[in-house]
Structure 1
Amino acid sequence: MTDPEHTRLLVDVSTDYYLDGRSKVEIAKHRGISRFQVARLLAEARESGVVKIEIAAPAHLDTGRARVLAERLGAREVVIVPGGSDRDSTRDLLARELARVIAARARADTTVGVSWSRTIEAAVRSLGTLPPCDVVQLVGALPVHGSGNSLELIQRFSRMDGVRTWPVWSPLLVGDPATAAGMRQQPEIAAALDRADSLDLAVVSIGAWNATGSTVYPQVTEPERRAATENGAVAECSGRLFDARGRAVVTPLDARVVGVTLDQLVRTPEVIAIGYGAEAAAGLRAAVLGGIATVLVMDDAAAVELEHLLAAPPGDVVTDP
């Protein structure tokens, strides 16, 4: 196929998909090509400039305030979403915005790591699709009443055209360190966790280390909670704990986790972290301080509390344990 013919195909396939609303399956059947080829052509059209996507932020997003907060935190970007009427509606609003942020950063032929939270799960439902890439499950499953889990999440990605997945077929928390070590040595799990060493982008959730802020907190024993708190833990990310400066807090709990480490996230070029509610603010700040996160997506309540933390004298905000 000559260059003019190929360019015409890029234009025609993009018109079918973006303007006429045809699915990749319909386009493939009509054009006599595979769905994978359609996905590749659409990705090439975006990368070559044949398709230019303009994202217009809604007026309610205060980008000036977010920019100032990002500068003060040292984050690459901060996105602030107004809170809803209750926790569930706030989560839905954040999920839609998180989906937009992921879509704007995911690139073809990259490796994307995805942790699990209720908000991330809802964001993936809103995401639609990704360009052809590898998606790595960063944590084992942690079933939560009324929600799915990370295994269901990775299966959603596996149904996207051109997306290859690296699942972690294990619980996030297992009963003892020996079992966890054995799970990490299973070939598929080991491959996924090793793949987390070479992520281009990661999506994680930051929760306060308490019963309402972390889905892990209620799953562990009281001695484990107490040990973590006494060692300075303020927040949790993918089952890993860290203090107010973003330093890892290692307790016996760490040995029972099957999932990405904080060191792997720190080495990832771009990490999108989501958190909401005033209680998440200290963890979001610590995640940036420790290099765990580069982009923050939060609600107004978290932003207000972050602004208060940043306005306080340094000794009142971050203290050594």
Structure 2
Amino acid sequence: MSEEAARGGTSDERALTVLAARRYYVDDASKVQIAEELGISRFKVARLLEQAKADGVVTITVHADGLRDPVLEARLREHLGLAEVTVVEASGDDAAVRRQVGETAAQVLGATLRPGEVLGLAWGRTLTAMSAALPPLPRVDVVQLTGAIGTDLDESPVEIVRRVALRSGGVARPIFAPLVVDDARTAAALRRQPDVAAALGMFGSVTTAVVSVGSWDPPESQLLRTIGDDERQELLDAGVRAEVASLLVSDDGQLVAPAFQDRCVTIAYEQMRAVPRIVAAAGGARKARAVAAIVRAGLCTELVTDRALAEALLALPPVAVPGPPGAGR
């Protein structure tokens, strides 16, 4: 056979493959129908359909966004030693994953918060998405756990607290102060301001806290980007792996650079670890080691995440979870 004839035969075969695939996958025609229409056996039709997938003529995508995976949840719950884990199917870019994880966290809170609780909220883009998707909540008081960072009002922790309080009808205690300042004396002065002091005074009553997780290595943190180059490198050299509410922890779950917290208007490390329920909302495989670190630190009792991060966490060694100071959760 000539090269030209061979090319023609190949072209005819591809055309037949495309036609069979269109009739089967788009028009819902049966293999028997297609065989009769094309004058070939149904076994030939089956081979054409397999070839269509192998050649990329047909690609199949399962749209499962928003669905939970109970089997994966159970495996990860045991692997991390947490009280609860929620794993949601999520796809798209980083912003889309944050939105889907945030929406799932909103559903979890809506189903589990009880009247009379005190809800503490940190900040972050995932929590912004959560606050926008919340169903009506039982009446709970809401307190901001950190000062603010950046100038985007939509992602401000003050705005997150306001939205959540509107959904619950409870008292809102925002913190109208920056998260990080230049020195410990300025931070101490801000903590003494009446409105700030009123919020800080509620930290011991928080029953449920919701936090996002910042990864420092690899870099996936808004706080990290706001710190000067020299200090950033100094903290990384000290072993910072992750942060929750500006609390910096190492791979083994130890608090790193406590002097940095002295310059922050935020909940203290021991106060956070004493909260009975801490829900961390995070997505994306890059945050696996950061999530493992905050679990080891006792800064997370529950996790809301996506499949990619869940599978990345399962690829790491199991996590031994410490109890909080004083008594077990």
What TM-score do you get using the length of structure 1 for normalisation?
A: 0.74
Per-residue displacement from partner, 1:140-195 (whole Å, max 9, x unpaired)?
Answer: 11136584201112222343453111111101112322211111111221121121
**Is 2:120 aligned against 1:107?**
no
1:133 to 132, 140, 143: 140
Q: CA RMSD in A?
A: 2.3
Q: 2:299 aligns with which of 289, 292, 313?
A: 292
For residues 105 and 151 of structure 2, what CA distance do their matches in structure 1 show?
21
Is the alpha carbon distance of 1:303 and 1:226 closer, same or farther for their aligned partners in structure 2, counting shifts above 3 Å?
A: same
Q: Secondary structure at the match of 1:309?
A: coil
Q: Indicate the residue corresponding to 1:218 in structure 2.
A: 225
| Residue 170 of structure 2 is aligned to residue 163 of structure 1 | yes
The correspondence of residues 239-250 of structure 1 with structure 2, limited to 5 A, is 239-250=246-257
Query: What are the equivalent positions in structure 2 for 1:46-57 lying under 5 Å apart?
Result: none
Cα gap change, 1:122 to 1:85, in 2 (>3 Å): same
| SS state at 2:202 partner | helix
* Residue pair 1:100, 1:127 contacting (<8 A) in 2 also: yes
Name the residue aligned to 1:184. 191
Q: Is the 8 A contact 2:153 2:159 kept in 1?
A: no
Aligned to 2:286: 279
Match of 1:48 in 2: none
Task: Report matched runs for 1:88-107 at 5 Å.
Answer: 88-107=95-114
Counterpart Cα distance in 1 of 2:135 and 2:66: 24
Q: Residue 202 of structure 1 is aligned with which of 203, 209, 223?
A: 209
Inter-CA distance 161–93: structure 2 relative to 1 (3 Å threshold): closer
| Secondary structure at the counterpart of residue 310 of structure 1 | coil
* Contact residue 241 and residue 251 of structure 2 kept, 8 A: yes
Are the equivalent residues in 2 in contact too, given 1:224–1:253 (CA < 8 A)? no
* CA-to-aligned-CA distance 1:63-101 (integer Å, 9 cap, x gap): 111111111211111111223111111111111101011
| Matched residue type, 2:113 | A
Contact 2:210 2:280 (C-alpha < 8 Å) held by counterparts? yes
Matched, 1:77 2:84: yes
Q: CA deviation at 1:291?
A: 1.4
Structure 1, gaps ≥5 residues long: 1-56, 315-321
Q: Deviations over 1:170-226 (max 9, x none)?
A: 011123222111111112211211211221100001110158411100111222212
Question: Residues 132 and 242 (structure 1 numbering): CA distance in 2 closer, same or farther, change over 3 Å?
Answer: same
Check whether the contact 2:127–2:212 (CA below 8 A) recurs between aligned residues. yes
Deviates more, 1:143-152 or 1:123-132: 143-152
CA distance in 2 between counterparts of 1:154 and 1:138 reads 10
1:154 to 148, 157, 161: 161
Pick from 258, 263, 273 the counterpart of residue 256 of structure 1: 263
Find the aligned partners of 1:136 and 1:124 in 2 and give their Cα distance: 14
Aligned sequence identity (%): 32
Residues 147 and 166 of structure 1: is their aligned pair in 2 closer, same or farther, counting only changes over 3 Å?
closer
Counterpart of 2:124 (choices 117, 124, 129) is 117
Whether the 8 Å contact between 1:130 and 1:163 is mirrored in structure 2 is: no
Aligned 8 A contact 1:110 1:133 in 2: yes
Tell me the distance in 2 between the aligned counterparts of 1:58 and 1:77: 20
- Of 292, 306, 311, 2:313 maps to 306
Aligned to 2:274: 267
Unaligned 5+ segments in structure 2 are 1-63, 321-329
Alpha-carbon distance between aligned partners in 2 of 1:151 and 1:281, rounded to the nearest angstrom: 28
Amino acid at match of 1:140: G
Aligned residues: 257
Change in Cα spacing, 1:311 to 1:194, as seen in structure 2 (3 Å) is closer
CA distance in 1, matches of 2:102, 2:288: 18
User: Secondary structure at 2:317's aligned position in 1?
Assistant: helix
> What is the identity, as a one-letter code, of the residue corresponding to 2:216?
W
CA distance in 1, matches of 2:66, 2:285: 23
Report the TM-score when normalising by structure 2: 0.73
- Tell me whether 227-236 or 59-68 shows the greater mean CA deviation: 59-68
* Counterpart-to-counterpart distance in 2, 1:61 and 1:286: 24
Letter in 1 for 2:304: V
- Select between 205-214 and 280-289 the one with higher mean Cα deviation: 205-214
CA contact (8 A) 1:224 1:252 kept: no
